[in-house]
Amino acid sequence: MEFDLSFLIISVLKITAVLAWIYGLLWVLGHASRAMKAVGVVLAFAVIQLALSVQIGDSAIFNDFDQGLLFQACAMAMVSLGLNLIYGFNGQFSLGQWGFYGIGAYAAADVTYRWTGEDAQGLLVLGIGVLLGGLTIWGVNQFLRRYAGMPVLSAFTLYLMGSIAAWSIAVWLGGALNGLLAPLFGTKDAPGLLSSGPALQVVFFLAVLFAGVFAAEISFLFGLPVLTLGSDYFGIATLGFTIVVNTLMVNSDTILPFPEMKGGRGMIGIPKLTTWFWAFLFLVLVIVIMRNLIHSSTGRAITSVREDETAAKAMGIDVAANKLLAFVIGSFFAGIGGGVYAHFIGFLSPGTFDFLVGFNPLIIVVFGGLGSMSGTIAASFGWIFFLEGLLRVILGQMGTEAPTWRFVLYPIALLLLMLVRPQGLLGRAEWGFLRAPEVQPRAHDEPRPTPVPASK
Amino acid sequence: MAWIGQGFLLLLAAVAVFILGRDLIRDPRLFIQIVISGLQLGFVYALIALGYTMVYGIVKLINFAHGDVFMVGSFVSFYAVTRFQLHVWPSMIFPTLPRGVVVVIGSLTVMLLSMVTCVAMAVTIERVAYKPLRDAPRIAALITAIGVSFFLEFFGALNFVFSPRFIPYQRPFEVVTWYFNDGFHALTEAKAPPEGSITFSNIFVIIVAASVLTQVVLQFLVRRTKIGKAMRATSFDKPTARLMGINVDRVISFTFAVGAAFAGLGGVLYAIAYPSIWSQLGILPGLKAFVAAVLGGIGSIPGAFVGALIMGEVEALTMGYISTPMRDAVAFTVLIIVLLVRPTGIFGEPEKEKA
């Protein structure tokens, strides 16, 4: 196949358009008036929705391939934002983000997969499990408050025992309740309430949300002891986590009791439920949560841990708790991203969650600028559209070794960037909505006029 | 309340001891055989781990490209043997030499060639990629290391370089197997070893010898020579070392070179022991060697050695008694547990508090 110049030009235009769209989205999100904000967000959603549906010639402006890239970029942005919270803002060098992404993807996929097979057990177990697991963690936390200075390993043991108990109850309860729900699915001729389309959409939303919480709870259990390690040791331990998760995925049908995940052969038949609406919703949700967190007092505490742990401690900040908080929220984002990813690709294979691929979020975060949310979002979209979209197709036109050449060229680009601009493309700059809000002096902050002494 | 955590760890240890003890009693011969294969793996890891631990000790960089230097080492020896017949060169020049001498000299030449190539490569990488970033934030150097590693892996996978396929490796010498059963016996090809005997090959002997020898050489180099003293000084405090007239850049290059030489040797031995190579050969052994270095306490040379042996044993015993695919998972779980008990590894010194 010969080289197609028009494709190159159109692709570059599309990438520019998407990046401009991100800038616009962040700008309208940051608009002062609430009405304008709402209109702007709907408009931002509509623009892409139009591009996805309006036909020009025999395909849409954004064809199916671009749509896939878009969803992938949204998922990648969520994962990378989570990593930026952990590494960029809190300073904990983590390579475990990809493992939590995989956990979220598999958990969410399993729920909807079972649901379309008229089996509510997945949703029930996961839902009850994250609820009970969360309650247990909260309860143990309340209990541990009485014993100040409890060694981390002992606390971890208690949390672990509690979680195991909670999840055992959840599995038992889910199995029991599943029997009650079974009639509501109806028969093939007369589909019941739960087999309808809207029910599936709700289940999808819940599945992704629960998958995120599930990843967050696992990250709590894992992070509690491991975050006490120093920076590089923490990095290696989290890399180990990704590898352990990946190994468990490969053996999900033999060692883990999930025959529907089919181990190393990959899980097929996941309903493709991710639409632009859901991808956009979750992306905006993650961006808003992240931004509001970062610019809250908690966020400043998290950032202060990065700057100087000793000074933060001296200011009365609970360093360990803040590290854990950042790690858990970051993993929550990764889990949500995984859920979104699983439901647009429809196929999960352990190869996708290999630790080598797991360096990608790290590279994206560093590429966009450590501690810059805008940089991370832009880099995620740019990365996916450029590397997965443009370069793959262009190289594919030039020869048979396309995927290999792609990975030969991008490390070189990476090396050049690191030599020229080690702080990343955006450094710590932010766009629009993500900028720190200007502090409006409140009424009682203004110097009060000194009362004039009453004249005698 | 520390007893809860300690009890938990003790419980884990008891389970491990129980499983191993049960298997040892059930079939001691098999157990020893697995331990031998674990040692073989561990000694190869030790060769790679030395490079990681030295580089980390001196520039605080996780040199992800080290595993790929190791891969290049095995490929160089592959081409030297299959393309250029370098393992039999003495017999081409002196046809009357006895066969044993030819094989020994030839194999040593192949190993030396791999080592030299790896040294050249590592020093180039260090000069081109890492040196300009010495004052940049640490993450920049780390990302660069990942970039170099990806570049080597995927450049090697191109068809005109090493090709993306697995390639059967031709050993420069023949495998001789011995078995131990009331004394040592050589195993001839026709005969299987008698029941209840323990077998090992000359590959095992060579790997152990090479690994122990490097360890001794390295200890001598670091403790007794001038450049070793310079290395220790640089690792301790770079600016002060520079003030004392040490050429820090040269010392760092030298450290990379020594590490790469051992990686090259490790690459040849690994390919001889597990004779199938491909362009991503270096990833997992490299990673596990690094983990071994962390396990033993990164920056410590005996630590890397001990860590590598533990790593090899854990992997072999997991493969033997639990399940083959779980070996990476168990290895990393052991690492995490060891780090929780001793946060800087077995031989590591406690981290300095931030001033």
Structure tokens belonging to residue A274: 């991710």
Mutation site, B131, B134, B139, B153, interface A, largest A CB count within 10 A: B139
Strand extents, DSSP E, A175-289: 267-268
Q: For chain A, what percent of residues have pLDDT higher than 90?
A: 45
Q: Say if CB B291 and CB B46 are below 8 A apart.
A: no
C-alpha torsion B63→B65→B67→B71, nearest 10 = -160
Smallest CA–CA distance from A359 into chain B, residue: B146
Structure tokens belonging to residue A365: 């975060």
Q: Is A65 on the interface with B (CB under 8 A)?
A: no
Of A351, A383, A393, A363, give the one whose Cα is nearest residue A73. A383
Structure tokens belonging to residue B250: 């040269």
Q: Which residues of B touch A419 (CB under 8 A)?
A: 132-133
Of B268, B266, B231, give the one whose Cα is nearest residue B248. B231
CB contact under 8 A, A366 and B143: yes
Smallest CA–CA distance from A308 into chain B, residue: B354
Strands B198-201 and A267-268: unpaired
Q: Say if CB A81 and CB A97 are below 8 A apart.
A: no
Averaged pLDDT, B210-226: 92
Smallest CA–CA distance from A240 into chain B, residue: B332
* pLDDT for res B225: 93
Sheet of B177-180: strand order equals: B184-187, B177-180, B198-201
* pLDDT for res A445: 61
Averaged pLDDT, A78-87: 94
Averaged pLDDT, A381-407: 78
With a cut of 90, say whether residue A453 has pLDDT above it. Answer: no
With a cut of 60, say whether residue B6 has pLDDT above it. Answer: yes
Q: Which residues of B touch A418 (CB under 8 A)?
A: 133, 136, 140-141, 143-144, 147
Q: Is A243 on the interface with B (CB under 8 A)?
A: yes
Smallest CA–CA distance from B61 into chain A, residue: A232
**B167, β-bridge pairs:** B277
CA distances from A268 to A206, A271, B76 (A): 21, 9, 41
Q: Which residues of A touch B4 (CB under 8 A)?
A: 153-154, 157-158
With a cut of 80, say whether residue A439 has pLDDT above it. Answer: no
Mutation site, B143, B287, B288, B294, interface A, largest A CB count within 10 A: B143
| Site of tokens 């393992």 | B87
Q: Which residues of A touch B146 (CB under 8 A)?
A: 359, 362-363, 411, 414
Q: Is A225 on the interface with B (CB under 8 A)?
A: yes
Q: Which residues of A touch B164 (CB under 8 A)?
A: 404
CB contact under 8 A, B1 and A150: yes
Query: DSSP class of residue A295?
Result: T
Q: Which residues of B touch A422 (CB under 8 A)?
A: 133, 136-137, 140
CB contact under 8 A, B147 and A226: no
CB-based burial label for B273 (10 Å; 0-12, 13-18, 19+): buried
**A347, β-bridge pairs:** A268
With a cut of 80, say whether residue A3 has pLDDT above it. Answer: no
Q: For chain A, what percent of residues have pLDDT higher than 70?
A: 94
Smallest CA–CA distance from B164 into chain A, residue: A404
Averaged pLDDT, A404-418: 83
Phi, psi of A60 (to 5 degrees): -70, 170
Strand extents, DSSP E, A269-381: 347-348
Of A200, A214, A163, A167, give the one whose Cα is nearest residue A336. A214
Averaged pLDDT, A183-199: 74
Phi, psi of A177 (to 5 degrees): -70, -25
CB contact under 8 A, A251 and B323: yes
Structure tokens belonging to residue A144: 């541990």
Q: Say if CB B290 and CB B62 are below 8 A apart.
A: yes
**In this predicted complex, what is the ipTM?**
0.89
CB contact under 8 A, A230 and B150: no
Amino acid letter, residue B222:
V
Strands B198-201 and A347-348: unpaired
Of B88, B113, B20, give the one whose Cα is nearest residue B320. B20
CB contact under 8 A, A415 and B144: yes
Closest CA of chain A from B87, distance in Å: 32
For residues A379 and A202, what is the distance between their CA atoms, to the nearest angstrom? Answer: 31
How many CA within 13 A on the CB side of residue B22? Answer: 8
CB-closest option in A155, A401, A422 to B137:
A422
Closest CA of chain B from A136, distance in Å: 18
Cα distance between the two ends of chain A? 99
CB contact under 8 A, B133 and A419: yes
**A59, β-bridge pairs:** A56
Q: Which residues, including other chains, have CB under 8 Å from residue B120's CB and lie 6 or more apart?
A: none
Q: How would you write chain B as a 3-class SS string?
A: CHHHHHHHHHHHHHHHHHHHHHHHHHCHHHHHHHHHHHHHHHHHHHHHHHHHHHHHHHHCCCCCCHHHHHHHHHHHHHHHHHCCCHHHHHHHHCCCCCHHHHHHHHHHHHHHHHHHHHHHHHHHHHHHHHHHHCCCCHHHHHHHHHHHHHHHHHHHCCCCCCCCCCEECCCCCCCCEEEECCCEEEECCCCCCCCCCEEEEHHHHHHHHHHHHHHHHHHHHHHHCHHHHHHHHHHHCHHHHHHCCCCHHHHHHHHHHHHHHHHHHHHHHHHHHCCEECCCCCHHHHHHHHHHHHHHCCCCHHHHHHHHHHHHHHHHHHHHHCCHHHHHHHHHHHHHHHHHHCCCCCCCCCCCCCC
* pLDDT for res A401: 66
Q: Which residues of A touch B141 (CB under 8 A)?
A: 418
C-alpha torsion A149→A319→A132→A282, nearest 10 = 180
Give the confidence band of B353 by pLDDT, cuts at 50, 70, 90.
very low
CB contact under 8 A, B4 and A154: yes
Of A390, A393, A364, give the one whose Cα is nearest residue A378. A364
- Which range of A267-276, A398-407, A419-428, B65-74 scores highest in mean pLDDT? It is B65-74
pLDDT digits (tens, 9 = 90+) for B20-36: 899 899 888 889 999 99
Phi, psi of B243 (to 5 degrees): -65, -30
pLDDT digits (tens, 9 = 90+) for A352-380: 999 888 899 998 998 888 889 999 999 99
CB-closest option in B137, B155, B353 to A408:
B155
Q: Say if CB B81 and CB B110 are below 8 A apart.
A: yes
Q: Is A63 on the interface with B (CB under 8 A)?
A: no
Q: Which residues of A touch B329 (CB under 8 A)?
A: 243-244, 247-248
Structure tokens belonging to residue A152: 């981390």
Q: Say if CB B284 and CB A240 are below 8 A apart.
A: no
Smallest CA–CA distance from B327 into chain A, residue: A247
Q: Is A418 on the interface with B (CB under 8 A)?
A: yes
Q: Is A409 on the interface with B (CB under 8 A)?
A: no
Q: Is A307 on the interface with B (CB under 8 A)?
A: no
With a cut of 60, say whether residue B165 has pLDDT above it. Answer: yes
With a cut of 80, say whether residue A193 has pLDDT above it. Answer: no
Q: Is A320 on the interface with B (CB under 8 A)?
A: no
CB-closest option in A153, A228, A401 to B159:
A401
Q: Count of CB contacts below 8 A, A vs B?
A: 147
CB contact under 8 A, A151 and B5: yes
Average of per-residue pLDDT values in chain A? 87
For helices A64-83 and A34-53, the axis angle rounded to 10 degrees is 140
CB contact under 8 A, A228 and B158: no
Amino acid letter, residue B116:
V
With a cut of 90, say whether residue A119 has pLDDT above it. Answer: no
pTM: 0.90
* pLDDT for res A162: 93
CA B167 to chain centre: 21
CB-closest option in A155, A230, A412 to B351:
A230
Degrees to nearest 5, angle at CA A419 with A415 and A425: 85
Smallest CA–CA distance from A155 into chain B, residue: B5
Of B113, B131, B112, give the one whose Cα is nearest residue B250. B131
Of A267, A418, A341, A451, give the one whose Cα is nearest residue A77. A341
Strands B167-168 and B177-180: unpaired
CB contact under 8 A, A418 and B137: no
CB contact under 8 A, A232 and B62: yes
Smallest CA–CA distance from A415 into chain B, residue: B144
Average of per-residue pLDDT values in chain B? 88
Dihedral (CA of B124, B129, B135, B137) sign: negative
Q: Which residues, including other chains, have CB under 8 Å from residue A87's CB and lie 6 or more apart?
A: A93, A94, A362, A365, A370
CB contact under 8 A, A363 and B143: yes
Smallest CA–CA distance from A236 into chain B, residue: B291
Smallest CA–CA distance from A88 into chain B, residue: B139
* pLDDT for res B355: 40
With a cut of 90, say whether residue B170 has pLDDT above it. Answer: no
Helix/strand/coil for A146? coil
* pLDDT for res B354: 42
CB contact under 8 A, B329 and A308: no
Degrees to nearest 5, angle at CA B321 with B319 and B325: 35
For residues B160 and B324, what is the distance between their CA atoms, to the nearest angstrom? Answer: 34
DSSP string, A369-389: -TT-HHHHHHHHHHHIIIIII
Give me the long-range contacts of A401-406 (CB less than 8 A, separation at least 24).
A401/B158, A401/B159, A404/B154, A404/B157, A404/B158, A404/B164, A405/B154, A405/B158
Q: Is A407 on the interface with B (CB under 8 A)?
A: yes
CB contact under 8 A, B140 and A366: yes
Q: Which residues of B touch A353 (CB under 8 A)?
A: none
Phi, psi of A445 (to 5 degrees): -80, -25
Q: Say if CB A106 and CB A341 are below 8 A apart.
A: no
Closest CA of chain B from A157, distance in Å: 6
Q: Is A50 on the interface with B (CB under 8 A)?
A: no
pLDDT digits (tens, 9 = 90+) for B281-332: 888 899 999 999 999 988 888 999 999 999 999 999 999 888 888 888 899 9
With a cut of 70, say whether residue A443 has pLDDT above it. Answer: no
CB-based burial label for A148 (10 Å; 0-12, 13-18, 19+): exposed
How many CA within 13 A on the CB side of residue B339? Answer: 28
Helix/strand/coil for A59? strand
CB-closest option in A237, A243, A356 to B329:
A243
Stretch among A35-39, A430-434, B200-204 having the lowest mean pLDDT: A430-434
Amino acid letter, residue A426:
L
Which of residues B278 and A439 earns the better pLDDT score? B278
